Structure 1
Amino acid sequence: MTRIFLALFLFYGTIGHSQNVALKPRQNDGKIIWAGSMLDVTKGTIITDVLVVVENGAIIKIDSASQKDRYKGEDIIDLSDHTILPGLIDCHSHLTNPSFDGTIDVYELPIASYGILGTVYAKQTLQAGFTTVRDVGGYLYSDVALRDAINNDWVVGPRMYVSGKAITMTGGHGAWGNWMAPHLELEPNPGNPVDGEVEVRKLARTLIKNGVDLLKINATGGFGTANSIPGAASFTIDEMKAAVNEARKRGIRVAAHAHGADGIKNAVRAGVNSIEHGTFLDQESIDLMIENEVYLVMDLLAAHVSLLENKDDISKKAIDKGNQKVYDDYAINFNEAYQKGVKMAFGTDASIFEHGRNAKQFHLMVKAGMKEMDAIRSATTVAAELIGIEKTTGSIEEGKWADIIAVKGNLLNDITVLEKVDFVMKDGKVYKTPKK
């Protein structure tokens, strides 16, 4: 009897966490990619005429195309007119959040529909070349369910690392509903308002129990929540430490939603692993992030859409300056953090704009002062490091997962070619091929 219980524990105890990505045994699905060129993201160089041999979902050999005669009779994928690079990683997405594009009334949609829509958005994201996402905030564990559905091959989508519901305080970002809008007081409230170290700790434990891969805590107010001030700090350092300590005991990481400088500094001092947004960061917060090796995930695309493309009326009303100046200041802060040496990971806040449009942020990052190679690294090697999967993905190397995409053109001269991905392979399986 004891052995039976142990076996059940080992099975069900692992199925919830996406670190165990291959929930089914991989079949021998050997493939060989013949690429005209390959971007070595580690060295920052392009290698021409490459063969990448894939078996059982992993890269087992990288060879010269001059050796392709040795592989006659094998399944060779001809990308000789393409450049291959690692699958891209978006570290700030919301796949189970409907796009704020005016096509769906998000306040009238049943919560169950969020997970169903997530299957559509997941496919769009994968088709855009993003083979992995860190999903930071899903309604009622819809992101956990979507992650497991993808891992079990029920639906198509990127590899997901999920936080479940964000931890926020009463009146904080995401704590929707008030006496004027009681219909937004869903039960349980998706914003999970909690106050004090005891409540924060209990919610952190509940989230971990329910299978999340990381925790997200709202260290400041945010755009999109009525009466929430984006730049104002929310939780105290000790409250956030309660969540950080629970995460560390279980070997997972903590992301902090933080717009204002005070909240950013509080979150860093509490021990979080990443700052999300960082809209109003200052020199002291930049120095603290560098000193504590905290990653910064600045969503230039979401800011651009919200402020300049007239997609998000709530965000425009929340700021009393001209929208162009607010965006320009954000881009200046982005460049300042980059030039000072903050670890910058790629994240877009997908759902503020249409899902699948994520790669348009690369151009904005380069325009803000980041080198093309560093922008690509932010969505490959650096993003993998932030999540903690750098040993298995983030670069095309022997022994790593076969997460490979292909584009036409020189992406180091024109970063916008990443907006037109022709080929997508995740975990050795092909999900998109070039149109003939």
Structure 2
Amino acid sequence: MILRGFFFSFLISLPAPLLAKDTVAPHLHLEKVFVETYLDVLSGELKTNAIIEITGGRISAIKNGPKDAIEGDFLDLSGYTVLPGLIDAHTHLCDNSHLGADFDHWSLPAATFGIVGALNAKKTLRAGFTTVRDVSSPFYCDVALRDSISRGWVEGPRMFVSGQMVTMTGGHGSWGNWMAPEHEIQTNAHAIADGADEVRKAVRTHVRNKVDLIKVAATGGYGTHGTIPGAASYSVEELRVIVNESRKHGLTVAAHAHGADGIKNAVRAGVTSIEHASMIDDETIRLMRKNDTYAVLDLLSARFDLIERNQNYDDKNLGRTNNEEYDAITMLFKKTYEAGVKIAFGTDAGVYPHGRNAEQFQLMIDAGMSSLDAIRSATIIAADLLNQQENIGEIKVGKYADFIAVRGNPLEDIRVLEDVDLVIKEGVVISAQSE
């Protein structure tokens, strides 16, 4: 949180009308920032005494020097460690599945999902995540939310969205799995498609509805009635149609896939990323490494579902307890990381309460990842996955002025990222928590 020492330095550096009581003024447009310490995520070095200049929401200059040399008003971040704005590459902002029966998808008007999304977007941004990749939302509410944030109507992170997940009849995400057949016909929030012609049309429909990427269910899932996470869904041929049609329109494909067979199908079809990979095997890890496929491994949602919530998955053919399942998932995370597969930070937000995203960093370290690589997964690696490496992921001239400020050194204690004091998005102060 913002301590009074920070407020006092702000009092010196900025005229009184720009200040809010006990906080840094929200929605303040910055032109200069003095950073006592910031993390260069590429080199892994903590750099000191930087004067960052901002023009049009982007970093226009980074100079070394004391703050006494700065002319005019500036934001003084002495006493803080500054990092690039974080990226979560697997969210569901319009979903509150963690509420269980208290969030009854089938009884809610479509507009409710947008309202929920707006609330969750604010929580996510204020937790330090200035960019998200939102991978499947009902009724294209993610498209509407992305555009509302871009227009300044709603406070939230920069969004890259997939719209509805493409899934087979009876596949993961099919609401009809909970319904009588006559209800399924008129109520389905995702894109049900079978065979080459239907999946091609589903991609084209998504393109028309202005998505940024395509999400496809390549296996069953934990959260869908009647599906088995380890079982493959689409054939390689169907997945290739999805990938090829997406590429025609400049879109990447993210594949939900737990079991090894479904992961192999998706990787061989040319998807950009595998989401979850909770049952991956050694052969499939090697295949992902060979094909340069990203892994987005959501340890936080797995821990929340299996351990914290102790969800009953007796119908999923797991053959082990929840604790054993989570231990297996963390072991496979370690194997994937040590094999050199590119791991992008993604948490499956919505399975757990939004705003807790940064808790995953410690879980990644517990599973064998270094602190620096965990941070890189949520900055430069995730930026590459989104094909946004020219815009986000580093504190570098030309990139968006997206910063977070924390007390302490995240390379020594990653948990400091769970308590972000200040968030800046495109040079605008978004949140500055009071004591």
TM value normalised by structure 1? 0.90
Q: How does 1:131-146 map to 2 (within 5 A)?
A: 131-146=130-145
Identical aligned residues as a percent:
51
Partner of 1:96: 94
CA distance in 1, matches of 2:177, 2:150: 38
What pairs up with 1:162-201 in 2 under 5 angstroms? 162-178=161-177, 181=180, 185=184, 187-201=186-200
- Which whole-Å CA distance do the structure 1 matches of 2:427 and 2:110 have between them? 33
Instruction: Give, in whole Å, the separation in 2 of the partners of 1:252 and 1:308.
Output: 36
Shift of 1:361: 0.3
- The aligned counterpart of 1:309 is 308
Query: Which residue is equivalent to 1:37?
Result: 37
Give yes or no for the alignment of 1:265 onto 2:264: yes
Q: Secondary structure at the match of 1:101?
A: helix
1:233 alignment partner in structure 2:
232
Any conservation in 1 of the 2:334–2:367 contact (CA below 8 Å)?
yes
**Aligned-residue offset at 1:270:** 0.3
Contact 2:232 2:262 survives alignment (8 Å): yes
The answer to whether 1:402 aligns with 2:425 is: no
Aligned AA (2:167) = T
1:17-416 aligned at under 5 Å gives the runs: 29-66=29-66, 68-74=67-73, 76-102=74-100, 103-178=102-177, 181=180, 185=184, 187-310=186-309, 312-313=311-312, 315=313, 317-318=315-316, 319-416=318-415
CA positional deviation for 1:304: 0.1
The whole-number CA distance in structure 1 between the counterparts of 2:355 and 2:314 is 24
How has the CA–CA distance of structure 1 residues 28 and 368 changed in structure 2, closer, same or farther, with 3 Å as cutoff? closer
Shift of 1:433: 1.9
Distance change in 2, residues 1:88/1:183 (3 Å):
farther
Provide the rounded CA distance (Å) in 1 between the counterparts of 2:162 and 2:214: 5
Aligned residues: 407
Change (3 A) 1:187 1:65: farther
* CA apart distance, 1:69: 3.1
**Residue 186 of structure 1, CA deviation:** 6.8
CA contact (8 A) 1:98 1:114 kept: no
Q: Residues 126, 386 of structure 1: CA spacing in aligned structure 2 closer, same or farther, 3 A cutoff?
A: same
Structure 1: distance between partners of 2:337 and 2:92 = 25
Q: Indicate the residue corresponding to 1:16 in structure 2.
A: none
Q: Deviations over 1:375-413 (max 9, x none)?
A: 000000000000000011100001111111111101001
Amino acid at match of 2:50: V
Consecutive unaligned residues of structure 1, counting only runs of 5 or more, are 1-26
Shift of the alpha carbon at 1:418? 0.4
What does the per-residue CA deviation read over 1:42-92, in whole Å, with 9 as the maximum and x for residues that have no partner?
0001012222111210011112242x3342222x11210100010000000
Shift of 1:374: 0.1
Take 2:182 and 2:320, find their aligned partners in 1: how far apart are those partners? 31
Distance 2:34 2:119 in 1: 31
**Relative to 1, partners in 2 of residues 1:98 and 1:232: Cα closer, same or farther, differing over 3 Å?**
same
> Aligned partner of 1:219: which letter?
A
**1:225-283 alpha-carbon deviations (Å, 9 max, x no partner):** 11101100000011011110111111110000000000000000000000000010011
In 2, distance between residues paired with 1:99 and 1:392?
A: 32
Secondary structure of the residue aligned to 1:358 is: coil
* Alpha-carbon offset, residue 179 of structure 1: 8.0
Q: Is the 8 A contact 1:168 1:217 kept in 2?
A: yes
| Counterpart in the other structure of 2:14 | none
Kept after mapping to 2: 8 A contact 1:381/1:395: yes
TM-score (norm 2): 0.90
Quote the RMSD (CA, aligned, Å). 1.8
Gapped regions of structure 2 (runs ≥ 5): 1-26
Q: CA deviation digits over 1:86-120, x for unaligned, max 9?
A: 00000000001124134533342222200111000
Pair 311,238 (structure 1): closer, same or farther in 2 beyond 3 Å? same
Note the C-alpha offset of 1:214.
0.1
The residue type paired with residue 366 of structure 1 is I
Change (3 A) 1:81 1:183: farther
- Compare relative contact order (CA 8 Å, sep 6+) and give the higher one, 1 or 2: 2
